[in-house]
Amino acid sequence: MNTTGLKRNYTPDTYKREHNEWEVVIGMEVHAQVVSQSKLFSGARTVFGSEPNSQASFIDAAFPGMLPVVNSFCVDQAIKTGLGLNAVINLESRFDRKNYFYPDLPAGYQISQFYSPIVGPGWVNVHLDELRTFSLRINHIHLEQDAGKSFHDQHPDKSYIDLNRAGIALMEIVTEPDMRSKEEAAAFLKTLRTILRYLGTCDGNMEEGSLRADVNISVRQPGATLGTRVEVKNINSSRFTEQAIEFEVFRQIEIIESGGRVDQETRLFDSISGKTRSMRSKEDAQDYRYMPDPDLPPLILNLDRIERIQNSLPELPDMKLERLQKDYGLPYHDAALIASDREIAAYYEECLNTESKKHEGKVSGDKAKMIANWFIGDLFAYLNKANLELKESKITPAHLSELVNLIYNGTISGKIAKEVFDLVWSSGESPSKVVKNQGMQQITDSSAIEAAIAKVIEQNQDKVQEYQSGKEKLFGFFVGQVMKETDGKANPQMVNEFLKNKLSAG
């Protein structure tokens, strides 16, 4: 297996102050909720937003005498995630108890993997833009249980606890401290989310808390040893990640430059103020007293199982991005947008498949680009405006490919195509049917175009004279009149050419 280390093809910006230059060092622990029907150690459902405690089992609520049994599919999902992040899969891993008291943790311990996690070191490539790329090392991934949820706002002096989330499988993805800017941190989180969604191992829904990050931040003068790090807990968006880092960098630089020392502590991010505040300091740092869970024997994997999962991996976003650029000549921007989501990519590739079937396995770069334009330009705009998801669109990939062919072979002009698109959007009928029913075919018959030109010239003798005496700006007026005369269906290139000849001939 590849173990590419930290690399970047550019130099990250530093923070330059009056007397000093500072570099930020960032590592992350990302908690990703595993997509599965039932929980990691119990047979209760994992649906978001169910009635309070309706999906808590006696195991999740830690009733005495309950025995946890690991969910095989959750194990597969963790393996899949590890393989997607180029990581080592450990054939033997173990579960440990992480002890702490909190009302949403009924057993008084969380079952986690501390000493031997299921996934070992890996790496991931992250693109900041077309030119800047870096690769980041994954330290390990372990499986653990989620805790229940507390509600603090329902009663003046009570907190309410719902255990529906308790016991849902989480993957904790731990990186090395390889990020050097808030931009890199945000880009990594986005990339990780995309990969997990491609793999189908986490839905990446940050509003519902399916993906949350603890961000470790420290500053140092470039080349110096690592500074004291501060952990900012539970950040649930890329934007908040950037805000929290920005705030921490200035707070820490400020402390050091005024002669103080940064405390190693855990801080909370307040998304309203954009600030972080102290949660607990080192003096009362948590002592989790990890111990092997005697209820759970070691988790043993065999190579066949890993190979089967390896063979089921989809093409990952990085490879897709590269292929779209290489095989179809798509610009980076288009390719990156299409590859950024598995559903979007699938739609676009279905367009290309339709096209390829029609044309003996070939898709020209021209058409691939035209399809991309209609897809991310027009269709996205329509979807946004109607607040619909791609899968709800009446315009199918076959429609889009057909529309592009109608333009390409000259049946309709690009302008008419917009009208056709609009009609297909609302009716769901095929573009060629719409064109036929509405008589929208482009006029390429030269005698018909010449007739329209003759009529326009006839009716605008005064303008013709003005044009001929040097007012060339009027050319656009004539084009407009001819198009009007033909209901916008005349081939624009032919109109231009014929008009020029006619008008200059006098």
Partner 1 sequence: MKISDRDVLKIAGLAKIKILSGEIPKIAAEVEKIIGFIDRLNEIDCEEVEPLSGITVNRAYEREDIVDDGDYADDIVGNAPEQASNMFAVPKIVE
Interface ranges with partner 1 (CB under 8 A): 36-38, 42-45, 51-59, 61, 69-75, 94, 99, 101-103, 150-152, 154-163, 268, 279, 287, 289, 292-294, 296-300
**Cβ-based nearer residue to partner 1, 54 or 264:** 54
* DSSP-assigned letters across all residues of 99-122: E---TT-TTSEEEE-SSS-SB--E
**Cβ-based nearer residue to partner 1, 158 or 473:** 158
In this structure, how many other beta carbons lie within 10 angstroms of the beta carbon of residue 61? 17
Give min distance, CB of 76 to partner 1, in A: 9
**Cβ-based nearer residue to partner 1, 280 or 415:** 280
In this structure, how many other beta carbons lie within 10 angstroms of the beta carbon of residue 17? 12
SS3 category, 335 = helix
**Cβ-based nearer residue to partner 1, 164 or 238:** 164
**Cβ-based nearer residue to partner 1, 295 or 307:** 295
Give min distance, CB of 39 to partner 1, in A: 8
Tokens representing residue 199 in the block:
């793999």
Rounded to whole angstroms, how far apart are CA atoms 463 and 480?
13
Give min distance, CB of 261 to partner 1, in A: 24
**Cβ-based nearer residue to partner 1, 9 or 286:** 286
Give min distance, CB of 314 to partner 1, in A: 20
Rounded to whole angstroms, how far apart are CA atoms 41 and 72?
10
Residues composing the chain: 506
Rounded to whole angstroms, how far apart are CA atoms 466 and 299?
89
- 185 alpha-carbon distance from chain centroid: 14
Q: Are 400 and 359 in contact (CB under 8 A)?
A: no
Give min distance, CB of 154 to partner 1, in A: 7
**Cβ-based nearer residue to partner 1, 271 or 364:** 271
Give min distance, CB of 28 to partner 1, in A: 21
| Strands 265-270 vs 230-235: parallel, antiparallel or unpaired | parallel
CA angle 416, 418, 424 (to 5 degrees): 105
Give min distance, CB of 73 to partner 1, in A: 3
Tokens representing residue 87 in the block:
């990581």
